[in-house]
Structure 1
């Protein structure tokens, strides 16, 4: 089989084009979700929630966050495994749900989860019955009749209902049916998911790998573990090597040999273009980490620094926050990986002003 040879610029442009970050913007929110396959629904709002930042960076200031809230409330988009997805994609997960906790010989932690759910069968039935009668409901409105508490060294210790609900979602019994403020609403999956026939497991995995590669442009065949949405392409697409980068990659051949017209964009730290930090270094030569979990003295770029894209290069980080109490979008610093030329500096300033307008906050720049 032929192995495609790409330059790093080719690989970067594949990735940027696949992520809908060229001058040719998508038409609406649904085209964004369809093109990206899944958009992470993290609620951290230091600047704005991730899904809204992702949509704004693709659609521009015409995007209204109410569109996402309305689409999730009406189930035109589904909150599944922490990502907004189109309802028709759920058929690609049904066989995996039916095979829970594993489609093969379960690993020790998977067997532990299955044994724990089995030990708390009564609570599982109680939750299903309560949802059948009164759903959708918030987690705190559901009964905890577990006879065996959930044990963990982390924050989930003794959080029986939240842990059981997570596994029931994975099993396809329960689904997220919207939100009440910041609280998720749970209901029977049969009342949330489309009644599409499941796609057989192996075919579903192949189709999901192909969708993921199409949304990312270029991926490793095997990537780091990532909850919710993997970071690899399996055997989808075609084999490729990238000049100056070790190992083999997979590329979506439909994205090859297309014209490229880049633009400047400010991205969320959880944007899928930058989410895989190893891939970010290999293809973009961009050193970046989300530093919100670091002590302030050890941060290089800021608590929630936003990566800055210009054409097919990531060129810096924006340290800024939305101070809604004061009504301002406060910029602390613009970190330039290399000194910005005048045209680049002007383009970045335009994006910052657009972001402040979209947030409906007064822009405050460093003095």
Structure 2
């Protein structure tokens, strides 16, 4: 018979496995401390999903802030550059992500599969312009790290495809293919957030076989999640459930995973608990959580554990948005009682709160729900930290229609502070 866990215990295990619950900084640290904060986060997450939206802060900067408080994201820029101090490599993991060197190596089978995939545009280029691929590599070796757009200009290739969507030049398509197949390395981003590429030196060691790589990635995902299910485990590195099931079965057979019954008002849920998962001690944490944070990667798990149904507004047409454009979840202890839509107005030095929305939490018992006063007080404190992190001097809260039921109480707390 499977062991039993309470719903709150499962949430706490999941959060602590992801590195939540520690002290969070309130002032900007020195460079070495920011690097340590990055290292501590990567030890738990193994990756930082990349997103270009910077309406408040870039998605790959937020998980470190969520876990450790104020830090300098320049530490991540330095950690992505080639050299002895490099910590991360950009690749396709959970979408585009900065990953540890270990994860980057294990995902080589995905890059090899990409090199064998039949891309119509690449097949056409290979047929009509076979010289283009070595030309791209040679040009990058000559001009140093460069974006696909800069390389295209360097080669005099300015003809873009017609229509909407990805209107790339032929050399830009070649660069994308060579990066995804592992022949180019991303060594940073420019001010337009474009990747900067260099050729990858010839490999000296043999690649990790796919079955072994999937098994090791599965083991990393289960440890990072603490308590999970096959869907969440597969989703962590964007693998298929069929790929990870043999590895899960092996972890169960070795006792590294154990089936547990998690109590839930809608009925007990069977989940997989990692042998080294942290204990379910209460968390006294308040933190903003990005929609691209590993805590919320797998939306079904988010709903199952935290009673939160989340659809990010940036992919929703404006008339259909109900909780803003880029709302961050507010974690309070082991509960997510609200989300807030933020925008950094850097010209005015103001953090704009464009909406604050209470989560329905339809299954969470009333005794576990924090009251409105506690929620807005905790959020006001966290917004002050977030503003200082982004170098902003004030927090302004919009109120009125469409801004959520918590916007007025929050505005009153901030006005009184």
Q: State TM-score, norm by structure 2.
A: 0.74
Where does residue 209 of structure 1 map in the other structure?
218
- 1:12 Cα deviation after fit: 1.4
Name which of 59, 67, 72 aligns with 1:50.
Answer: 59
Where does residue 149 of structure 2 map in the other structure?
140
Q: Deviations over 1:197-223 (max 9, x none)?
A: 532221111111111222222333135
Q: Distance in 2 between matches of 1:165 and 1:227?
A: 27
Distance 1:71 1:224, change over 3 A: closer
Cα RMSD of the aligned pairs, angstroms, is 3.4
Name which of 93, 98, 104 aligns with 1:90.
Answer: 104
Where does residue 177 of structure 2 map in the other structure?
167
Distance 1:360 1:173, change over 3 A: same
Q: Distance in 2 between matches of 1:143 and 1:57?
A: 38
- 1:295 Cα deviation after fit: 3.3
- 1:322 Cα deviation after fit: 0.4
Q: Distance in 1 between matches of 2:268 and 2:126?
A: 46
Name which of 73, 76, 83 aligns with 2:81.
Answer: 73
Q: Distance in 2 between matches of 1:290 and 1:22?
A: 25
Name which of 159, 172, 187 aligns with 1:177.
Answer: 187
Where does residue 285 of structure 1 map in the other structure?
307
Distance 1:278 1:132, change over 3 A: same
Name which of 282, 287, 299 aligns with 2:321.
Answer: 299
Q: Distance in 2 between matches of 1:55 and 1:231?
A: 28
Name which of 222, 227, 231 aligns with 1:222.
Answer: 231
Where does residue 268 of structure 1 map in the other structure?
290
Where does residue 242 of structure 1 map in the other structure?
262
Distance 1:33 1:229, change over 3 A: farther
- 1:255 Cα deviation after fit: 0.4
Distance 1:58 1:223, change over 3 A: closer
Distance 1:196 1:259, change over 3 A: farther
Gaps of 5+ in 1: none
Q: Deviations over 1:148-185 (max 9, x none)?
A: x9989861255533433232223211110112222211
Q: Single out whichever of 41-50 and 135-144 deviates more from structure 2.
A: 135-144
> Contact 1:150–1:163 at 8 Å: present in 2 too?
no
1:340 aligns with 2:348: no
Where does residue 13 of structure 2 map in the other structure?
14
Gaps of 5+ in 2: 25-32, 252-256, 361-369, 399-410, 412-417
Q: Distance in 2 between matches of 1:19 and 1:203?
A: 24
- 1:85 Cα deviation after fit: 1.7
Distance 1:207 1:298, change over 3 A: same
- 1:140 Cα deviation after fit: 1.6
Equivalent pairs counted in the alignment come to: 356
> In structure 1, the residue corresponding to 2:313 is in which secondary structure?
coil
Where does residue 314 of structure 1 map in the other structure?
336
- 1:315 Cα deviation after fit: 0.9
> Contact 2:90–2:99 at 8 Å: present in 1 too?
yes
Where does residue 124 of structure 1 map in the other structure?
133
Q: Considering fraction of residues, name the structure with more helix.
A: 2
Where does residue 325 of structure 1 map in the other structure?
347
> In structure 2, the residue corresponding to 1:292 is in which secondary structure?
helix
Q: Distance in 2 between matches of 1:173 and 1:116?
A: 19
> Contact 2:62–2:290 at 8 Å: present in 1 too?
yes
Distance 1:204 1:351, change over 3 A: same
Q: Single out whichever of 240-249 and 196-205 deviates more from structure 2.
A: 240-249
Where does residue 155 of structure 1 map in the other structure?
165
Q: Distance in 2 between matches of 1:91 and 1:135?
A: 24
